[in-house]
Each structure stands twice: as C-alpha cells, then as structure tokens.
Amino acid sequence: MTEEEFLIQMKNFFENIDKLKTDLEKQISETEYARNDLLHELELGNLNAIEMTKVAKTLKEVLQERRKFKDELAKVMTLKGFADKYNNKLIVGDIINVLKNLKTLKKNNENRAYTPRRITNLKCAEEAKDEQDRKTNT
C-alpha cells in the first residue's frame, strides 16, 4: 500500500464512520422488527408443531443476524470514539492537503533536472537540456 492509498483510506474512514454507525443501527432495527413479527406469530398464531418449528428456526436466524450487526456496531462505536476525539473536518482537511503535497512532490520528481555549475559535458545535463527543449517546442 502506498502512502497515498493509506491516506485515502484514512480520509474515507473519518468521512464515513458516522454513516456506517447509522447504517448498522438501521439494520439492527430492521432485524428487531422481524424478530417482533416472529414472536407475535408464535404468540398469536394458531400454529401446529411443524409451523412452530419453522418460525423458531427463522427466529434463530434473525437473532443471529441481529447479533452480527450488534457486534459490528460495538466495533464501530469503539472506532467512533477514537474518530470523535479528533475534529474530523480538520483531520480530513489535513489529509487532503497531504495528498496534494504528495502529488506535487511526485510531479516534481518526474520533472527533475540538473544544471551543472562547473562541469558542462555531463550526460545528465544533456538529457535535461533535451527534455527542456522538447517542452518548449511543443
């Protein structure tokens, strides 16, 4: 992973942590609605043994799904505590500036040229001069 990729992932983390928390809370809520529906079906439906078994199996699956979301939310809340410790907008702005600076450095390194001070017949000086001539002619 390059520095740029790392910084982009870090920026995405700070920008998306609140949305991830909200999405998980919605998923938990949806599974709770399904759980309540199944519990009411067990309570109020006139079910035979086979139907009760099917509802119980579905209820178990819904509860396992809900547990998965709740466990994930616990992780996100721990990370959110870390993220909230820093002002997200400031750190995201700083990350964007670092990415711009890295892009500028990369561009400068690609266009690097040396102008000799004493020894003029250096190959690197000829290559730099040729490159500069090509740029001015285009």
- Lowest mean pLDDT: which of 28-32, 55-59, 95-99? 95-99
Question: Which one is predicted more confidently, 79 or 22?
Answer: 22
Q: How far apart are the C-alpha atoms of 59 and 63, rounded to whole Å?
A: 6
Residue 18 lies in a domain: yes
Q: Would you state the pLDDT for residue 38?
A: 96
* Three-state DSSP state, 86: coil
Domain span including residue 73: 3-85
Question: Exposed, middle or buried by CB within 10 Å (0-12, 13-18, 19+), for 98?
Answer: middle
- d(CA 131, CA 9) in angstroms, rounded, equals 36
Q: Confirm whether 102 is domain-assigned.
A: no
- Which of 21-25, 61-65, 104-108 comes out lowest in average pLDDT? 104-108
The predicted structure's pLDDT at residue 76:
93
127 vs 111, more confident: 111
- 104 located within any domain: no
